[in-house]
Every structure is written in structure tokens, then in C-alpha cells.
């Protein structure tokens, strides 16, 4: 039996003593490459130690995770390995920050067409493990459409290359798909190959405001049905923290040559709906990050596109603010306060039920410390198995996958044993 | 052979019209588009409902009978080839479009629905279904999902996996699961993502909800004739480097042009490298992009350029390209279509090597390919009647795949591994990589009855020895060290 007290002595030979540290009783190890990650995993798996892989530590509250003995930091695997720009692909290590990756790719006028949260600290591995995506998804799709291949380390230390390095490849199972959004519960991502796009050259940004999202709904629908080269279409509900706006705002990003005069078409569409088109600089006036307040419950909800405006107003009525992509992904916050005697977690639970009834889902991303105990006492974690399929079979299948990849439950065990399926 | 009891149980599920056991009728199902491999199934079942598929698979699990799902049988890698002792489950009686949801841009279909019919169902409302394999007028959505089918327009619009939101799947055990969801980002693992392209080895999808895409305002197709394939390939690189994203970029060589011309008369200019570029989007944008593309064609020495004069002309140009595989039959009685992928920048070098390999073997190889993606479709022409020629043709096509892997590419871009390329899998992947995939398989299909003996190399079919299989050490792959 291994004693936790001398764990550092066992880990030091694997990665070097200076790369093992203790933080609040957790041993933080920082391997330098995939081989060292494999060595740490092999050791941990063999000795029944629980491991949490981390990058920039920006989204650790996503997924109700249990205590672990080892935190495996990927921050030393931070290189852009290869950027064959003429092939529109790149291969990057998991610990590279999103911003560094994009800056490197921008030298050749390219980018990974994804705008995740906190790009200056969030890492490639963490963005993939949480399947984060932002407004650009409207035009370019999500990580599912961008990840070509991955190098992963399984719980038992097996190193596997999955997928490929070319834009088109259907040889064998697409294992990277399984890794995207798996919250580090199946394997540790150490390297990712992305397909790239040319940076947009004619971006124009607009904002249309109204007192409610329903008022903006016909315009949003019209834009979705139009031939405009829309790159992002994002609804901001209850944006009172914007100085000039109190209500809802529709953010529209076009990417078309100025000669195409798309802004004039958009202007006409606004007029037809009795709305005024506002011009913006090149930055979103506020973004999803603003929702992540320490004193608020923060959630991610999904829904069919047709319900986007209705749920924006729903959240607003309940005292929350939201940022919703027109295709049906919502981020919302509910500040921790009693409102008409209704506790905020009750509001969230009702929203969850309504989203589910509309064919969607809800995931809790952050709970203030003051509510942690109440949240932990919920009978079934709404963000896990209970919110998934119509039948329980998909849950069994997900558990079978977990069992195959990590039979000893070494990687990122979840706090709630009954909730073996991670959130995405 | 199936026992009489099992046959009568099957009969009870699908009825007399849904069960085929007569030898002469079973022959129809002994191969798919890869005709070099044949194996008659024990029986063919044609279910009409998801419930029937469940009942069939429950019996298969209980009696350990392997099953192979089949759509239109157009697959080119032997994915629908029966395995010894297996039944075939055909979907020619599950061809309904179940729901069209224009507000949310989606459509729900049964597996036997023909790819092109999805577009037909929504075209009136101004939508289309983007993945467009060359066989789209006959191939089915179920087969497309099994193979993660691609097509010429995947360059811009993505593959089948980009366009499937939800699938109702019957697991090999007969249990029913819903993978994915009609809303984005279903909670939990992306089981749908890994199911798509699993070549029928993880279960059978009996209902699929697909994303439909707004038809672009304008489409323009350009043809450019080049004195060499290399010049055409260089033009493709230049178009990408200029930051343009056409919806399709295709290259055909002289032999392919001759074949297409003989088959459907698309009136292509005769040359050694024909480049077809399609741009789509808002009208003004399309005009600007088309001009830029033409400029780059001229810069690279195009002998002749023209654009489609109208919709009919555009469709004719595509008809010629999509008929290329079938038209190869005009050049030779037998042929093998390959599907390797290479980094786009290596196109000229790889094409030269393929030509040299073909010459050395005394066989003709014609090339039609998705140049924008680096997805090659070398068509190896041969005569089965000539003793030994089929074996040499298969061997040549496999060596072409090895070449693709050596350049950092893949053995298949859209046709799948199937029976044809399973022995090449261990050339592309190390044992640990393949073992990782097997973990997925065991979770879905613990009894190994879903299209077994496909996709993965097996000792029985691939032999104990490996075909010069070599996986470079990461240090070597990254260029830090070399092996002498």
C-alpha cells in the first residue's frame, strides 16, 4: 500500500522533483511530454490513485468532480508542433493557450475558427475536454467539425494516436469525437490536430437592440433564412450591464466583401421589422465571460433554434442575463439572491425542466459557495444522466465506454457516483 | 447455415416478403460496389420498422449470428459485403421521410431514403442536404452515416458527421438508444460522433435527423484546362493560400476526361489536368471570388477557361465528374477505385509516383480527385480475364495507399475501410491505436456480431506478418531524429 505522505518521492522520478508540488493536499505534477504523462498515468492507475488533468484551470467547476490525489498539469506541453499552412492544418500540444495558438496561426493569416471562453488562459486540451464554443460556431461549426486527430494517454498509460493529420480521414473509429466534451474522464489529451480557416477579411459587426428578445425574434429568423454571409448571430438577454442598453440586443457579424453591400441589405431587413441597425467596432460589446460572476449560478442550456428568443425572455423575467447563439446554445447567470422569496436554485431547476420539455438540456457550470451545500443535496444531478436520453440505454452505453477506457475509475471521477456520465 | 427454427423466427418478424433465402436471389447481395470480393449471405432480411430491426438483432445476439446492414450496396470498400455465415439486413423497405422541420433546419428520415431525395424533399423551401457522394442519386442515408460519406462539396460544407444531429440506433443486443439530439450538444459523450463512420460495426441506425442547409444565392462553376496535373494542383494551392474557400475543387486527368466524355458528354476541354472549381454564396461575393479564381488559373498557365453558362450547363459539368467512376467501365472491363488522402501540398509529387508505379506494373491508373481536400481517387484499370491481373491491380492500389500514409495522409477519405483496406489499417495505426478503437467496439458490440471481420486487421485475413508495417517514433516523426 502506497502512503500518500511519500507520494512526492514516487512521482519525482517520473517527471523530475522540481515538477512535483503539493497544493492543499493534492500533488501537482507537470510532465514535459506525452511519454511522461503516460508514466504518471501508468503509476497512478496501478496504485489506485485518482488523477485530474488540468490546463489553465478556467473551467474546473464544470462537471461536479470528486477529490483526487494527483493533479496532472499539461502546462509544460505548450508548443505549436506543426503548422503546414498550405494544408490548412496545425498540430498543437494540449497545454498551449488558445491565444498563443491563434497568434501563431495568424502569422499566416489563419485560425482555428472557434472563440472559446478566456482564451488567454484556457488551453487547447481544456477547450477540447469541455467542448467549448462561442459565436463563431454559427458559421464554422463546433470542435466536432474541427478536430482532425489527437494523441491521447489512456488511464493505464497507453499512448494512442487517433484520427489523422489530413482534413479528410475516415480510417477507423473517430475516437477524437469521443474525447471532445468528455471532461478528461476517458483519457488525457496531449496533442491535437485542427483544420484551419483563413482569417475573415471583411468582418462587419452590428447591434440591434429592443426591450425584449421576442421583439428581435422575427429579425433573427429573417437573418437565418437570408443569404447574408452571417458569421455570428448572438442574442444578449437582459444586458443591463451595458451602459447604453437595457433589454435585449442582437449581435450580428457579417463577413462579406464591402462591394457586396450586405450591410445595406441588413439595414433594410431591420427597417422592415421596425428596428434600427447599430454599427459597432470589431469587438463584441460584452461576451460570455461577463456572465461568470462569483455570486451567480451560471448555466449552459441547449434548445431548438425556434425557442431561443423565448428562453432569453424567460431568463430575463427570472432576473438572469443570457448570451444565446441563434442555433440554440445558451449561457446564462442568475445572481444569488432571493427574488420574491423564490430561491435561485429553484428557478434554475424550473428552467431545466422547461428546457428538457422543449427537447433541450441544462448544465450547471458554476454555483456560488453559499449555495454549494444546497446544490450538493439535490437528489439527482440535473446536469448528468437524468437529463440525457429518452431511454436509459444511452447512459448504460456511456458507462460501458467509461468502463472500457478507464476500468479503475482513475481519471476525473465524478462527485456523484450515480452520475457516471459527464456533462458537456 | 441458419437453423430451420431461426429462419422461421426471422420469417415471423419480417413476413414472407421480407425474407430472402433462395440462392439465386441471395446472389444480388453477395457484394457491394467493391465487386472483387464476394460472399453469399445465409439469408437477407428486409425489415419495415425499428421494432423489427430490434427483434432481428435480439435473435442474432442470442444465436451469435453475425449481421451486415446494407443500404443500396454502392459502397466501394466492401462494407456491405456479407461475412461467412452472416445475414444481411437490407433497408429497401424503410424509405420514409418522417418529418421536415424547416423552422429548425432539420429533417428526419429512415435509413433507406436515397441521399438525393433528402434534397428533393426540401428544395422547394430553398434548402439542400450538403453531403454529396458521387453515388448520391442511388445511395442511402443509412449507408452514408455508416461510412461518414463525403463528396465534392465537403470542402466547404463538411462531411456526413457535420450534418447528423440525432440517430435512433439499435445496438447489436437489440436495445434501442438515441444518440445525439435535435438540439445542439446533447449532454454526455459524443456517442453519435463516434458511431458515424463506424461502418456498421457498432449497431444499426433506423432513424436519423439531418441538418439541412440554405441554398446559396448564387453558384458559379469554372472549368480550367491545364497542360499538366501539377499546374492544376498548384492552382488549387494558390486558391487556398489566397484565403478563398470554394465549395468544391476537383481535378480530372486526360483518361478520366475521355471516359466522362464517352459516358455523359459534359464537353470538357481535352487536356492533361482539368480543374473544376465551384464557388457559392451571396451573388456579389460569388462574382468577386470567381474573378480571383480565374486570375489564379491564368497565372498558372491555364490553356482554356470557361464558366458554366447556365444551371443546365453547371449540372452537366457535375454530371461528368460524378459519372467518372462508372465511366471508367468504358476504359476497362474492371477497375478499382481508391480513396487515399494526402496533405494537399504533396499532390504533384504523389501523382508522379503513382504514375511511375503504374508504369512499372504495366497497368493504367486514371485520376479523379477532390483536390481541395487532398482526397485522391486513383482508378486502377485491369482485366479480370487476364490471369493474375486482378491480384496485381489490388496490390498496386494497396501500395498507393501505403504511399498516402507515408506522406502523412490516410488510407481512406470517404469510402471507408471495409474489407478492402483492413490490412492497411496496421500500416496507418500502431497496435495501441487500434486497441483503443477496439475498446469502443467492445462497449457497443461485446459479442462482435455487428459486421465482424471488417475495418480492423485480423490474423485470418491479413496474416500474422505485417506488410512492412512501420510506425515512426514520435521523435522521428517530428523531424528531430532520423532512422538510417
- For residue A278, give how far its alpha carbon lies from the nearest alpha carbon of chain B (Å): 22
Distance set, CA A388 to CA B85, B181, B193 (Å): 37, 9, 16
How far is residue B452's CA from residue A401's CA, in Å, rounded to a whole number?
19
Question: Is residue B311 situated within a structural domain?
Answer: yes
CB contact under 8 A, B409 and A164: yes
* Residue A363 contacts B where some CB pair is shorter than 8 Å: yes
Write out the residue range of the structural domain in which residue B126 sits.
97-214
Whether A244 and A363 map to the same domain: the answer is yes
Whether A84 and A232 map to the same domain: the answer is no
Whether A215 and A325 map to the same domain: the answer is yes
Q: Which of B90, B114, B139 is at the close of a domain? A: B90
Whether A246 and A212 map to the same domain: the answer is yes
| Count of domains observed in chain A | 2
Residue among A81, A363, A390 whose CB faces B187 most closely: A363
CATH of the domain at A131: 3.30.465.10
The residue written with cell numbers 493534492 in the block is A26
For chain B, helix (H) and strand (E) counts, in that order, are 18, 18
For chain A, helix (H) and strand (E) counts, in that order, are 12, 19
Question: Is residue A40 situated within a structural domain?
Answer: no
Whether B127 and B163 map to the same domain: the answer is yes
Question: Is residue A136 situated within a structural domain?
Answer: yes
Q: Which of B281, B300, B331 is at the close of a domain? A: B331
Question: Is residue A406 situated within a structural domain?
Answer: no
CATH of the domain at B292: 3.30.70.2190
Residue B165 DSSP symbol: E
Residue A246 confidence class, pLDDT cut points 50, 70, 90: low
Whether A86 and A207 map to the same domain: the answer is no
Whether A153 and A272 map to the same domain: the answer is no
* Residue B437 contacts A where some CB pair is shorter than 8 Å: yes
ipTM: 0.94
Q: Which of A358, A378, A398 is at the close of a domain? A: A378
CATH of the domain at B117: 3.30.465.10
Whether B101 and B209 map to the same domain: the answer is yes
pTM: predicted TM-score of the whole model, two decimal places: 0.94
One DSSP character per residue, B351-365 reads: HHHHHHHHHHHT-EE
CATH of the domain at A332: 3.40.462.10
Question: Is residue A413 situated within a structural domain?
Answer: no
Phi, psi of B140 (to 5 degrees): -105, 160
pLDDT in the model for residue B328: 86
Residue among A303, A328, A401 whose CB faces B440 most closely: A401
Which residues does A149 contact at the CB level (< 8 Å), separation at least 6? A91, A161, A162, A163, A164, A165, A169, A176, A192, A193
Is residue A421 a contact partner of residue A197, using CB atoms and an 8 Å limit? no
Whether B342 and B316 map to the same domain: the answer is no
Whether B269 and B301 map to the same domain: the answer is yes
CATH of the domain at B382: 3.30.70.2740
Among A137-141, A208-212, B199-203, the range scoring the smallest mean pLDDT is A208-212
Whether A153 and A229 map to the same domain: the answer is no
Whether A179 and A252 map to the same domain: the answer is no
Whether A151 and A243 map to the same domain: the answer is no
* pLDDT single digits (tens) A378-410: 755 544 433 334 346 788 899 999 999 999 999
Whether A219 and A360 map to the same domain: the answer is yes
Residue among B188, B244, B414 whose CB faces A398 most closely: B188
Whether B309 and B221 map to the same domain: the answer is yes
Residues of A in contact with B455 (CB under 8 A): 172
- For residue A156, give how far its alpha carbon lies from the nearest alpha carbon of chain B (Å): 11
Residues of B in contact with A41 (CB under 8 A): none
How far is residue A320's CA from residue B170's CA, in Å, rounded to a whole number?
41
Residue among A197, A262, A384 whose CB faces B282 most closely: A262
How far is residue B13's CA from residue B375's CA, in Å, rounded to a whole number?
42
Question: Is residue A407 situated within a structural domain?
Answer: no
Q: Which of B50, B65, B90 is at the close of a domain? A: B90
* Residue B412 contacts A where some CB pair is shorter than 8 Å: yes
The residue written with cell numbers 484546362 in the block is B225
Residues of B in contact with A198 (CB under 8 A): 243-245
How far is residue B307's CA from residue A81's CA, in Å, rounded to a whole number?
41
How far is residue A396's CA from residue A394's CA, in Å, rounded to a whole number?
5
Whether A191 and A214 map to the same domain: the answer is no
Question: Is residue B440 situated within a structural domain?
Answer: no
Write out the residue range of the structural domain in which residue A243 sits.
202-378
* Residue B411 contacts A where some CB pair is shorter than 8 Å: yes
CB contact under 8 A, B421 and A171: yes
Whether A120 and A249 map to the same domain: the answer is no
| Count of domains observed in chain B | 4
Residue A419 confidence class, pLDDT cut points 50, 70, 90: very low
Give the count of beta carbons closer than 10 Å to the beta carbon of residue B143: 31
How far is residue A388's CA from residue A360's CA, in Å, rounded to a whole number?
9
B447 by Cβ neighbours in 10 Å (0-12 / 13-18 / 19+) ranks as middle
pLDDT along chain B (484 residues), means of 10: 94 97 95 91 98 98 98 95 96 98 98 98 97 94 97 92 97 96 92 97 98 95 95 93 92 94 91 96 91 96 94 92 85 91 92 95 93 93 93 94 96 95 94 97 97 91 55 50 45
Amino acid at each position: 500500500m502506497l502512503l500518500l505522505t511519500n507520494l512526492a518521492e514516487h512521482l519525482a522520478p517520473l517527471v523530475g522533483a522540481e515538477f512535483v508540488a503539493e497544493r492543499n493536499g493534492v500533488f501537482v505534477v507537470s510532465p514535459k511530454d506525452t511519454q511522461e504523462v503516460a508514466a504518471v498515468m501508468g503509476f497512478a492507475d496501478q496504485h489506485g490513485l485518482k488523477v485530474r488533468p488540468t490546463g489553465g484551470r478556467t473551467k474546473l467547476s464544470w462537471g461536479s468532480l470528486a477529490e483526487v490525489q494527483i493533479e496532472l498539469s499539461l502546462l509544460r506541453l505548450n508548443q505549436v508542433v506543426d503548422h503546414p499552412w498550405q494544408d490548412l492544418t496545425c498540430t498543437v500540444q494540449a497545454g498551449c493557450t488558445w491565444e498563443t495558438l491563434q497568434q501563431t496561426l495568424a502569422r499566416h493569416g489563419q485560425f482555428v475558427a472557434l472563440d472559446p471562453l478566456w482564451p488567454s488562459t484556457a488551453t487547447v486540451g481544456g477547450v477540447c475536454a469541455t467542448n467549448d464554443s462561442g459565436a463563431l460556431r454559427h458559421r464554422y461549426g463546433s470542435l466536432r467539425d474541427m478536430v482532425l486527430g489527437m494523441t491521447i494517454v489512456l488511464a493505464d498509460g497507453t499512448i494512442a494516436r487517433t484520427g489523422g493529420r489530413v482534413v479528410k480521414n475516415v480510417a477507423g473509429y473517430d475516437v477524437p469525437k469521443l474525447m471532445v466534451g468528455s471532461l478528461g474522464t476517458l483519457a488525457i489529451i496531449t496533442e491535437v490536430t485542427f483544420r484551419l480557416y483563413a482569417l475573415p477579411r471583411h468582418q462587419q459587426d452590428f447591434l440591434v437592440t429592443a426591450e425584449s428578445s421576442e421583439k428581435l425574434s422575427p429579425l433573427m429568423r429573417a437573418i437565418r433564412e437570408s443569404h447574408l454571409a452571417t458569421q455570428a448571430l448572438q442574442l444578449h438577454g437582459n444586458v443591463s450591464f451595458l451602459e447604453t442598453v437595457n433589454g435585449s440586443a442582437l449581435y450580428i457579424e457579417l463577413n462579406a466583401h464591402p462591394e457586396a453591400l450586405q450591410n445595406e441589405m441588413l439595414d433594410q431587413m431591420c427597417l422592415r421589422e421596425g428596428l434600427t441597425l447599430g454599427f459597432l467596432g470589431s469587438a463584441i460589446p460584452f461576451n460570455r465571460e461577463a456572465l461568470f460572476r462569483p455570486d451567480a449560478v451560471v448555466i449552459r442550456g441547449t434548445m431548438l433554434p425556434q425557442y431561443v428568443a423565448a428562453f432569453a425572455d424567460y431568463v430575463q423575467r427570472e432576473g438572469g442575463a443570457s448570451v444565446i447563439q441563434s442555433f440554440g446554445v445558451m449561457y446564462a447567470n442568475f445572481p444569488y439572491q432571493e427574488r420574491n422569496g423564490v430561491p435561485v436554485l429553484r428557478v434554475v431547476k424550473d428552467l431545466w425542466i422547461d428546457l428538457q420539455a422543449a427537447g433541450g438540456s441544462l448544465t450547471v457550470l458554476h454555483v456560488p459557495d453559499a449555495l454549494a451545500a444546497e446544490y450538493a443535496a439535490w437528489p439527482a444531478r440535473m446536469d448528468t444522466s437524468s437529463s440525457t436520453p429518452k431511454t436509459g440505454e444511452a447512459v448504460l452505453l456511456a458507462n460501458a465506454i467509461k468502463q472500457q477506457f478507464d476500468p479503475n475509475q482513475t481519471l476525473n471521477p465524478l462527485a456523484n457516483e450515480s452520475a457516471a456520465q459527464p456533462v458537456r | 447455415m441458419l437453423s430451420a427454427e431461426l429462419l422461421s423466427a426471422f420469417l415471423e418478424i419480417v413476413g414472407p416478403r421480407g425474407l430472402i433465402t433462395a440462392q439465386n436471389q441471395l446472389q444480388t447481395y453477395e457484394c457491394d460496389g467493391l465487386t472483387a470480393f464476394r460472399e453469399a449471405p445465409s439469408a437477407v432480411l428486409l425489415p419495415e420498422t425499428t421494432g423489427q430491426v430490434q427483434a432481428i438483432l435480439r435473435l442474432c445476439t442470442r444465436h451469435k449470428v453475425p449481421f451486415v446492414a446494407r443500404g443500396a450496396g454502392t459502397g466501394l470498400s466492401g462494407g456491405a459485403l456479407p461475412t461467412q455465415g452472416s445475414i444481411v439486413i437490407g433497408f429497401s423497405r424503410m424509405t420514409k421521410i418522417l418529418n421536415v422541420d424547416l423552422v429548425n433546419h432539420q429533417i428526419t428520415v429512415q435509413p433507406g431514403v436515397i441521399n438525393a431525395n433528402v434534397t428533393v424533399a426540401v428544395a422547394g423551401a430553398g434548402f439542400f442536404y450538403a453531403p454529396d457522394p458521387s453515388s448520391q442519386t442511388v445511395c442511402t442515408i443509412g449507408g452514408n452515416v455508416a461510412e461518414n460519406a463525403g463528396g465534392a462539396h465537403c470542402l466547404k460544407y463538411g462531411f456526413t458527421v457535420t450534418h447528423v444531429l440525432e440517430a435512433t440506433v439499435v445496438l447489436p443486443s437489440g436495445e434501442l438508444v438515441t444518440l445525439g439530439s435535435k438540439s445542439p450538444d446533447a449532454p454526455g459523450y459524443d456517442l453519435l460522433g463516434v458511431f458515424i463512420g463506424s461502418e456498421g460495426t457498432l449497431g444499426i441506425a433506423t432513424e436519423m435527423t439531418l441538418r439541412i442547409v440554405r441554398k446559396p444565392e448564387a453558384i458559379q462553376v469554372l472549368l480550367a484546362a491545364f497542360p499538366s496535373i501539377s499546374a492544376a494542383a498548384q492552382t488549387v494551392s494558390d486558391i487556398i493560400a489566397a484565403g478563398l474557400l470554394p465549395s468544391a475543387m476537383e481535378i480530372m486527368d486526360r483518361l478520366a476526361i475521355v471516359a466522362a466524355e464517352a459516358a455523359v458528354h459534359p464537353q470538357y476541354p481535352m487536356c492533361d489536368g482539368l480543374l473544376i472549381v465551384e464557388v457559392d454564396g451571396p451573388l456579389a461575393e460569388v462574382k468577386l471570388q470567381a474573378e480571383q479564381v480565374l486570375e489564379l488559373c491564368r497565372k498558372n498557365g491555364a490553356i482554356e477557361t470557361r464558366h458554366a453558362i447556365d444551371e443546365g450547363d453547371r449540372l452537366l459539368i457535375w454530371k461528368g465528374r460524378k459519372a467518372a467512376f462508372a465511366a471508367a467501365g468504358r476504359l476497362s472491363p474492371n477497375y478499382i477505385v481508391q480513396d487515399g488522402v494526402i496533405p494537399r501540398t504533396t499532390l504533384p509529387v504523389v501523382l508522379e509516383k503513382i504514375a511511375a508505379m503504374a508504369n512499372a506494373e504495366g497497368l493504367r491508373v486514371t485520376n479523379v480527385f477532390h483536390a481541395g481536400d487532398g482526397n485522391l481517387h486513383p482508378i486502377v484499370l485491369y482485366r479480370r480475364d487476364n490471369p493474375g491481373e486482378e491480384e496485381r491491380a489490388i496490390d498496386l492500389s494497396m501500395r498507393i495507399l501505403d504511399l498516402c500514409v507515408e506522406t502523412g495522409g490516410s488510407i481512406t477519405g470517404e469510402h471507408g475501410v471495409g474489407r478492402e483496406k483492413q490490412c492497411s489499417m496496421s500500416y496507418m495505426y500502431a497496435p495501441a491505436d487500434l486497441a483503443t478503437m477496439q475498446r469502443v467496439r467492445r462497449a457497443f458490440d461485446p459479442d462482435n456480431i455487428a459486421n465482424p471481420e471488417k475495418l480492423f486487421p485480423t490474423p485470418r485475413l491479413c496474416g500474422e506478418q505485417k506488410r512492412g508495417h512501420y510506425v515512426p517514433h514520435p521523435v522521428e516523426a517530428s523531424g528531430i531524429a532520423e532512422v538510417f
